[in-house]
Chain A
Amino acid sequence: MNTRGLRSQLKDSVPVTGLCPQAGPYGVQDSLRRGFSSVKNELLPSHPLELSEKNFQLNQDKMNFNTLRNIQGLHAPLKLQMEYRAARQIQRLPFLPSSNLALDTLRGADDTIGFEDILNDPIQSEMMGDPHIMTEYKLGVL
């Protein structure tokens, strides 16, 4: 039984190309897909706003939860985070874009419009991932 495969079903983070050899599916380093020859250089941002924009939602949530903890005690953010985790799991198949309606409603973003709704709308994306590859990535088999 592949325990690594089960753990990777909760994949919700992008693997960072680090300096230590990343173990691929067979235990040896995966030089074709990760590491030195990887095209996307995630260590250096190409624009001062890139990092802050990538983590904006996370930072907002962290700030809000901290404020809530200071005002109402530890239980309130814990309960809310449990609801967030449950809502985040309501997704369609990996290669189909999900609307994330429950998550948006919880965050209060269902009645606001920002640049993330107008520019680069994932529902109108011109690139489609190969269904097999995307499902394998989601399950950690890739």
Chain B
Amino acid sequence: MATVSVCQYYPGGFSFENCKRNALLEADINKLGFSSPAARKTGTTICGVVYKDGVVLGADTRATEGMIVADKNCSKIHYISPNIYCCGAGTAADTEMTTQIISSNLELHSLSTGRLPRVATANRMLKQMLFRYQGYIGAALVLGGVDCNGPHLYSIYPHGSTDKLPYVTMGSGSLAAMAVFEDRYRPNMEEEEAKRLVRDAIAAGIFNDLGSGSNIDLCVITKGKVDYLRPHDVANKKGVKTGSYRYKHGTTGVLTKTVTPLNLEVVEESVQTMDTS
């Protein structure tokens, strides 16, 4: 036997077998004039703000694939633990999988310690994972929650750096949202004022950035209670058609009409009861 395909089992995880092939294909495809498929991104506006009793997270709901809107109403605020939620910008699959893995790890950790998980734990786990992959996992996250030490808000960049701040924005519409925050943020706001501020910041991102659009989702986290408002505000309603474009009966004239009966015999009849309980 000249060649052996598998001599021992290799551990799981990422497989780099196709990288060389992909690099060659990339070079050849450009010569032929085609373009390689683009990953679905969430060109996004996400933001968060700390107010008197907790944290308000906000996000838009558009997912893009190059120049096309792939999902008009996608959910960008992901569940991490009962008191911690995370908004994700960047490659949609990366944010989804990263937040799910961290959510599972936090659940196991909190079962092992017997306590409610802390936001700093989630932050540390996320930054260590993102640094391990050196920015190849394109996930920019806004992590917020309330734990035993009060409300916390972190922003996490794809290469693994984090910032702990009272108000953060991420994504392609982050500049528009940050402009609103810088103008109207004050420490220790009330809940209604904080919700209005986040709503206006996301709206600024939606209307001024092509990568963000559709509705505004909000998530209000306080000690012991989480309000997931989806959608909080339908900023972009689809237009209603003003007229009916159906043709009236008789528009097409009938010239001839032939009827061919199909003679079918009933061969067998059986009744199957369905369990619809």
Contacts and interface: CB of A to CB of B under 8 A. Distances in A.
B8 interface: yes
A98 B36 CA distance: 39
A114 B4 contact: no
A111 B109 contact: yes
Contact of B101 (A53, A94, A118): A118
Nearest to B22: A46
Interface string B10-24: 111111100110010
22 contacts: A14-B7, A33-B2, A39-B3, A47-B19, A49-B14, A56-B132, A97-B9, A111-B109, A111-B111, A116-B12, A119-B12, A122-B9, A122-B11, A122-B12, A129-B4, A129-B5, A129-B7, A133-B4, A133-B7, A134-B6, A137-B4, A138-B8
A85 to B, nearest CB: 18
A127 B3 contact: no
Given A53-B16, A56-B132, 18 more contacts: A14-B7, A32-B3, A33-B4, A46-B16, A46-B20, A47-B19, A97-B9, A114-B101, A115-B14, A115-B101, A118-B12, A120-B14, A125-B9, A129-B4, A129-B8, A129-B9, A137-B4, A137-B7
A27 interface: no
Contacts of A137: 4, 7-8
A125 B20 CA distance: 22
Label chain B's interface by main secondary structure: loop
Interface string A17-50: 0000000000000001100000100000111111
Nearest to B111: A111
Contacts of A134: 6-8
B208 interface: no
Given A49-B136, A114-B101, A116-B11, A32 B108 contact: no
Of listed A47, A94, A118, A128, residue having the most chain B CB within 10 A: A47
Label chain A's interface by main secondary structure: loop
B252 interface: no
B236 interface: no
Nearest to A97: B9
A49 B16 contact: yes
B1 to A, nearest CB: 7
Nearest to A12: B8
A2 interface: no
